[in-house]
Amino acid sequence: MKGIAVFEGDITEQHVDAVVNAANSQLLLGAGVAGAIRQKGGPTIQAECDAHGPVAVGEAAVTGAGELAARFVIHAASMAPGGSPDEDSIRSSLRHALALAAERGCASVAVPAIGAGIGGFSAQRCAEILIEGARRHLAGEPRVEEVRFVLFGEPMYRVFESTLDAAKVAAQMERLQAAKAGRGVPKR
């Protein structure tokens, strides 16, 4: 799909306009992706999170990126501290994060497997929700040109890769069906 890519690697090393953090609603940079962002980005990111204050589960907040290569960190709050994410909170936090990226003029955004790491959400379902959310956003938002899913470890990468491949095939099949219907070719 145009505008969506998957990579295995360290999200904190991405040269993009914004890095999305798999955050909790208190914006506490603990472990996992948030911990890596805190460690590599420096203390200013947590200080900005503290100044911003908590957000509702399913929402997002923007801070500077400290020492990271990105311009912004967008904290997608898919769960409360110690809680668990669900489909709605993952979907909503990504939607809010991409909207904030568009508002800030970000063309490229790196996104982790929100909720599937420390949150323990199903990797497969997470990939389906996030890829569909990115596809919908890119279809209606010209300012964000690339959503790059950056996954830690080959197993998570493979789940996202196969989910993206399946989405590409489904989109192609829809286009073929629409073309057939437009030409009056009977459906079989």
pTM of the full structure: 0.89
- Topology of the domain covering 4-183: Leucine Aminopeptidase, subunit E; domain 1 (3.40.220)
Rounded CA separation 127/42 (Å): 29
| Domain residue ranges of the chain, discontinuous segments joined by + | 4-183
Cβ distance 142 to 106 under 8 Å? no
The confidence score (pLDDT) of residue 183 equals: 66
Type of residue numbered 160: F
Residue type at position 21:
N
pLDDT in tens, the chain (188 residues): 349 999 999 999 999 999 999 999 999 998 889 999 999 999 999 999 999 989 999 999 999 999 999 999 999 999 999 889 999 999 999 999 999 999 999 999 999 999 998 888 999 999 999 999 999 999 887 789 999 999 999 999 999 999 998 888 887 888 888 888 876 555 54
Tell me which amino acid residue 104 is. Answer: R
The amino acid that residue 115 corresponds to is G
The answer to whether 127 and 106 have CB atoms below 8 angstroms apart is no
